[in-house]
Amino acid sequence: MEAFRLIRTRWGWFTVVARGRKLAGTRLPVKRKGDALAEARRAFPEAEYDDQILPVLSAAVTQYFAGYPALFRATLDLAGFTDFQRKIIRAARRIAYGQVCSYGDLAKRIGHAGAARAVGSVMRHNRFPLVVPCHRVVASGGRLGGFSSPGGTAEKHALLALEGGVGALL
């Protein structure tokens, strides 16, 4: 069974989707609750609203958007991912708050030097924004690179600024 909840943060409404006790997806905050609700229902039409799911993760999300470091403890539902994609996701989760890593360096960390584009592809299709901190993965030379959220690279920059990690990009 899938369920979702909306978490009110200082940045707007963050969406968490669970499949059983595992995290199935997240969506970065949007300003209007109705927009978050509509997106959750479109992306997860079988999910039911449940404001009690994943309470520890939900508290961490609130803490994060209030400007404090947070640990996003949740077991991810990685069904449908290849072993290679799982390695990238696990490595990205280890990028510390306020730090950045290049696509190429992340590829090296999983033993696939030269696979920077493949890392970029996995980050571009990240179902777990924030929990899998794709905003902390940047292009070579510290350039921001892309960001597939509706807010684009401006949102990526804002997330890094919230963490104090923008200095690494200047």
Tell me the three-class secondary structure of 39-74, residue by residue.
HHHHHCCCCEECCCCCHHHHHHHHHHHCCCCCCCCC
- Torsion sign, CA atoms 32, 66, 169, 104: negative
Per-residue model confidence (pLDDT) at position 144: 82
Please identify which of the residues 7, 18, 134, 137 carries the catalytic annotation.
134
Which candidate, 107, 101, 108, places its Cα nearest to that of 165? 101
Per-residue model confidence (pLDDT) at position 166: 59
Decide if 134 is catalytic: yes
Per-residue model confidence (pLDDT) at position 153: 87
Do 163 and 108 share a structural domain? yes
> What is the DSSP secondary-structure string of the chain?
-EEEEEEEETTEEEEEEEETTEEEEEEEEES-HHHHHHHHHHH-TT-EE-TTSSHHHHHHHHHHHTT--------B--TT--HHHHHHHHHHHTSPTT--EEHHHHHHHTT-TT-HHHHHHHHHT-SSBTTB-GGGEE-GGG------STTHHHHHHHHHHHHT-GGGG-
Do 120 and 51 share a structural domain? no
Per-residue model confidence (pLDDT) at position 170: 40
Do 163 and 90 share a structural domain? yes
Considering the domain boundaries, does residue 116 fall inside one? yes
Q: 């989707």: which residue's tokens?
A: 17
Which candidate, 41, 46, 36, 42, places its Cα nearest to that of 7? 36
What's the CA gap between 166 and 163, in Å, rounded?
Answer: 8
Considering the domain boundaries, does residue 78 fall inside one? no
Do 57 and 8 share a structural domain? yes
Per-residue model confidence (pLDDT) at position 140: 84
Per-residue model confidence (pLDDT) at position 168: 47
Which candidate, 124, 123, 168, places its Cα nearest to that of 142? 168
Block means of pLDDT (10 residues each) for the chain, 170 residues, are: 96 96 95 96 93 96 95 95 97 94 95 94 95 93 78 89 68
Considering the domain boundaries, does residue 128 fall inside one? yes
Do 107 and 59 share a structural domain? no
Contact 29, 14 (CB under 8 A): yes
Domain hosting residue 15, numbered range: 2-65
Number of domains in the chain: 2
